[in-house]
Homo-oligomer: A and B are copies of this chain.
Amino acid sequence: MLTSVDPDLIRVLGDPLRLRIVALLARETLCTTHLVEETGAKQTNLSNHLKVLREAGVVETEPCGRFTYYKLRPEVLAGLSEQFAALAESARSAAGNKRACP
């Protein structure tokens, strides 16, 4: 039983703008220009966040001419979902386990 979640991955998704990017990419594959339009953030800022998401394995790039398309890697999100589900189930079954007061 794992009952643990990767802290780095959650931290990466903890940023509001990054989470917004993920939500947008969950609907369609977009390039940086589209994300600039949708979020209103500066291109530099987005590029930084996209780098973080890339290094965390959340998104992957697909060059298309001079554009760079970003798409989600659903396995990562699905893995997170499973880990949280495992945590929730563990919490449910352990609701009564109360360690004695010292």
Counting every copy of the chain, the complex holds 2
Tell whether, in the assembled complex, residue A23 and residue B10 are in contact, meaning their CB atoms are under 8 Å apart: no
Q: Say how far A11's CB is from chain B's closest CB, in angstroms.
A: 4
A19 on the B face (CB < 8 A):
yes
Q: How many residues of A contact B (CB 8 A)?
A: 52
Residues of B within 8 A of A19 (CB): 4-5, 7, 10
Assembly CA distance A22 to B85 (angstroms): 13
What are the residues of chain B within 8 A of A11 when measuring CB–CB? 14-15
A64 to B99, CA, bound (A): 12
- Rounded to whole angstroms, the CA-CA distance of A23 and B72 in the bound complex is 27
The closest CB in chain B to the CB of A31 belongs to: B101
Chain B positions within 8 Å of A34 at CB level: 99, 102
In the complex the two chains form, what is the Cα distance from A40 to B87 in whole Å?
22
Chain A residues in contact with chain B, CB under 8 A? 3-5, 7, 10-11, 13-16, 19, 22-23, 25-31, 33-34, 64-65, 67, 69, 71-75, 77-78, 80-82, 84-85, 87-92, 94-99, 101-102
